[in-house]
Amino acid sequence: MADSREYAARKDRAEKTALFRYHLIRDAADEHVTTRQRGPMVRALAEQTHAGPFGEQVRVSKDTSGYGGSAGSTRSNPNPARKYQSPRPACWPWPRR
């Protein structure tokens, strides 16, 4: 019983946090906003202090706002395949996958 209450509380907290983040970036996430327009919008968000989902004052960075690079991408590494190349030497007889 305690586990289900804890699960419900964690789920509620996660939903409130997600809605808070969406509320912050929804104008910048509009498909009609250009990249050139989006940059200043996100920087302005990062400069301000916001009332968080639980009443506390929070600051967000460009990376935690959900617009750390390409549209909607929250990944810190936009191309993980390049970072994790196979360590096999090129002289091995079988092809790379």
Residue 77 lies in a domain: no
Instruction: Give the number of domains in the chain.
Output: 1
Phi and psi torsions of 22, nearest 5°:
-60, -45
Residue 63 lies in a domain: yes
Task: Please name the residues in contact with 87: beta carbons below 8 A apart, sequence gap of 6 or more.
Answer: none
Residue 64 lies in a domain: yes
Stretch 3-26: mean pLDDT:
91
Residue 8 lies in a domain: yes
Residue 88 lies in a domain: no
Residue 38 lies in a domain: yes
- What pLDDT digit, counting tens, does each position of 38-76 carry? 999 999 998 999 999 998 998 887 665 555 444 444 445
Residue 36 lies in a domain: yes
Residue 26 has pLDDT above 70, yes or no: yes
Q: Closest by alpha carbon to 42, among 64, 20, 58?
A: 64
Domain containing residue 20: 2-71
Task: State pTM to two decimals.
Answer: 0.56
Residue 50 lies in a domain: yes
